[in-house]
Amino acid sequence: MNGFQLQQTVSKAEDTWRVSHFCTTRLGISRKMLVSIKHHGDILRNGQHVNVHDVLREGDEVQVLFPEETPAEDMIATQGELDILFEDDWLLVVNKPPGMASIPSRLHPERSLSNYVLGYYRQQGIPYAIHIVNRLDRDTSGLVLFAKHGLAHHRMSQMQQANQIERHYLAYAPGTVPAQTIDQPIGQTDHSFMERMVRPDGQRAVTHILNSRTIEAFNQTISLLDIRLETGRTHQIRVHLAFLGHPLIGDTMYSGEPLLPRQALHSASAVFPHPATGERVRFEAPLPEDLRLE
């Protein structure tokens, strides 16, 4: 199978640039990735092999042939249905159901969302490894982003570091929860590998509750929250709402009322510049039936 290929024309402003500078600056290829391309891929100028130290001229056609990607040896390809929201040569956007892990674990090696994506890749002849951009807890539903190949993953990671990926969640919490920003550090608890808590020595975590409206469900007042994450700490929304005294409905790990069989949290949308074009794109995952409380 062939790996990913990228082709661009050298502009007037890029005349006399070296191949290496063109690749890292114009094409956004990391230096580590460029080394891998040198050894396992190829760079062509006007159809001919070129050295990374060679000089380019205006109008040259530069084609980068990325190395073939192979999944981890212990990664199992699982066959099954995927709810695909969007797909192109750079991205795969999937709607994850509740009750499914995002990535495999030692105890559950073959039925995570990533296993099903790999199964889909094999079925479609897509020659890439798994590059998951945002993970969701097992019982959180909604939108998960996969970068199709290493370059897409590198560019998406840069966007994450620059806070350019705007992620919105819908959540149900008991009582009346006003719109607000929660800026409280989160770290691991002293008694559990899994649980997190607000603690002064934790990592900075910022959660924006943008909108809140109350509904009546389960014979009580509940707030439906529109939440934007600024950071992406483990269990961040769950921990911050528990810190406010309004743990998510169904989130028994953080003392939420067991009114649902899972925490009432849904990854609803993501907005970011497309890694290939820079055009701002938006993807949405509809609220699943078990969270339609109105």
Listed in sequence order, the residues at least 6 apart from 14 whose beta carbon sits closer than 8 Å to its beta carbon are 22, 26, 56, 58
> 31-40 vs 150-161: helix axis angle to the nearest 10?
170
Q: Which long-range contacts (CB under 8 A, 24 or more apart) does 215-218 make?
A: 215/293, 215/294, 217/172, 217/293, 217/294, 218/249, 218/257, 218/259
One-letter identity of residue 152: A
Listed in sequence order, the residues at least 6 apart from 89 whose beta carbon sits closer than 8 Å to its beta carbon are 4, 148, 276
Distance of CA 246 to the CA centre of its chain: 27
CB neighbourhood size of 103 (10 A): 13
What is the rounded CA–CA span in Å between residue 214 and residue 180?
15
Distance of CA 191 to the CA centre of its chain: 29
Angle, CA 86 vertex, CA 81 and CA 63 arms, to 5°: 115
Is 290 assigned a catalytic role?
no
- Using CB atoms within 10 A of its CB, is residue 107 exposed (0-12), middle (13-18) or buried (19+)? exposed
Q: Which of 60, 137, 139, 251 is catalytic?
A: 137
3-state secondary structure of 127: coil
Catalytic residue numbers read 137
